[in-house]
Amino acid sequence: MSSLPTRTEAVVFDCDGLLVDTEPCWTIAETALFAAHGHTFGPEQKALVIGRTVEAAAEAMADYFGRPGAGPELAAELLARVRKELAHGAAALPGATELVRACRAAVPIAVASNSPRELLDTALESAGLAPYITHSFAADEVHSPKPAPDLYLTACEALGAAPKRSVAFEDSATGISAARAAGLYVAVVPSLPGTGLDHDWLSTSLGDPELLGWARELG
């Protein structure tokens, strides 16, 4: 995997749709919210909101619904719906636990998520990943969440790592933009098919054997 350095100082993971299978929870909530406002929800609409904070997704919805200024109201409704869906639990995505453990054995790791702290903790606990994640950073804990670089810069600083010698794992364009802006290498496992996403390494699964081999050579 020459596109990702093995001399890496830290690895920072996104959470939703990358480590934890929470996107179905979000999609159910988003579909219901679109339907409540008289709109269908498909891949085009999902692309408008994926990877964004609750607030940014709600603003995109408000624009789409032709309801400028309704962002805060829609954000509250979206958060309530996602909270309800997440209460049923969400599993770790294939390869996520193995990759997190392999990386953690070699270098400092963190999670940097555009979810609020409440939903991030719920997702990591539900998927059984919380015991391996000693550093995590949520959208409501930085000045500017993704696509701004703040979450990745904060994570690297907390881990004592230089961003340019660190690797980010992402699944959405919003997260990739944040990681790039912070200066990290970017490994991508897309949540949405057929998206031409910027990347240093690309696969369809965190369970890719090549990836686990890379993780075991870290440090």
Do 10-21+91-216 and 23-86 have matching folds? no
Give the Cα-Cα-Cα angle 135, 140, 141 (nearest 5 degrees): 45
> 133 Cβ partners below 8 Å, 6+ apart?
100, 109, 110, 111, 124
pLDDT at 110: 98
**What 3-state class would DSSP assign to 11?**
strand
Give pLDDT, residue 168.
Answer: 98
0.85 exceeded by pTM: yes
pLDDT (average), residues 88-115: 97
Ordered by start, the domain boundaries in the chain are: 10-21+91-216, 23-86
Q: What's the rounded mean pLDDT across residues 88-96?
A: 96
Residue 2: pLDDT over 70: no
Per-residue pLDDT, averaged over 183-205, amounts to: 91
User: What CATH number should be reported for the domain whose range is 23-86?
Assistant: 1.10.150
Res 194 pLDDT > 90: no
- Does domain 10-21+91-216 match CATH 3.40.50.1000? yes
Please compute the mean of the pLDDT values over residues 113-136 and round it to a whole number: 96
Question: For residue 79, which of 148, 18, 151, 140 has the smallest C-alpha distance?
Answer: 140
Amino acid 51: pLDDT: 87
Task: Please give the pLDDT value at position 219.
Answer: 73
> Considering the chain, what percentage of its residues have pLDDT values greater than 90?
93
Specify the pLDDT at position 1: 59
pLDDT digits (tens, 9 = 90+) for 25-55: 999 999 999 999 999 999 999 999 998 999 9
pLDDT for res 72: 96
Q: How confident is the model at residue 92 (pLDDT cuts 50, 70, 90)?
A: very high
Is 202's pLDDT higher than 70?
A: yes
